[in-house]
Amino acid sequence: MLGDSLSAAYGMNMEQGWVHLLSQKLKARAPESSVVNASISGDTTGGGARRLPALLKEHEPTLVIIELGGNDGLRAYPIKQMRTHLTEMTRASQNANAKVLLLAAEAPPNLGRRYTTMFRDSYAQVAQQDDAAVLPFIVEHVFLSEQLMQRDGTHPNAEAQPLLLNVVWPTLVTLLGDSLNE
């Protein structure tokens, strides 16, 4: 798992985060499995692209989930740069014989419709060009619910974490095979 604050359990204990919940659920179905959470709050696609080669070599994953880009959008980084980093991470993971699941992010609406549309479309474009799986912004269904968000209005709280896992789980089961199916 290569992500930012959404996957690094920002503002709560790591054990409350959706990635830890994923690890528990995966282990219950495949006891030999493990999840490495290499998420860092504030990370960008550029940071992930720099860190990923060493992580691939050290952990030799079967699947790499990339949940990065939100901080690129908050900083209004160039779309082409973000897309290049997403492509680099996807290809590096695939070259290491790992499947890839991209978890899309959203750019803030104040950056304009053109930027936000290009930003959103980047994930599907990278997934299509490199035969990776992609999911829309996993926070989308909890973002507008005040009781599921932390005080900052940006990060989901502990109550929302199982809902984030529920968004990812069906695609993860498909990517990892029927042995994980409930």
Which of 23, 39, 72, 155 is flagged as catalytic? 155
Which of 43, 59, 152, 178 is flagged as catalytic? 152
Q: How far apart are the first and last CA of the chain?
A: 22
Distance CA 106, CA 121 (A): 10
**Tell me, what DSSP letter sits at residue 3?**
E
CA distances from residue 178 to 5, 97, 98, 99 in whole angstroms, order as listed? 30, 19, 17, 15
Annotation says 141 is catalytic: no
Query: Can you spell out the DSSP letters for 135-182?
Result: E--TTTTTTT-GGGB-TTSSSB-GGGHHHHHHHHHHHHHHHH-GGG--
Annotation says 130 is catalytic: no
* Greatest extent of the chain over all pairs of C-alpha atoms, in Å: 46
Which of 4, 5, 23, 39 is flagged as catalytic? 5
Annotation says 152 is catalytic: yes
Q: In what order do the strands lie in the sheet with 133-135?
A: 2-3, 63-67, 99-103, 133-135
User: Which residues are catalytic, by number?
Assistant: 5, 152, 155
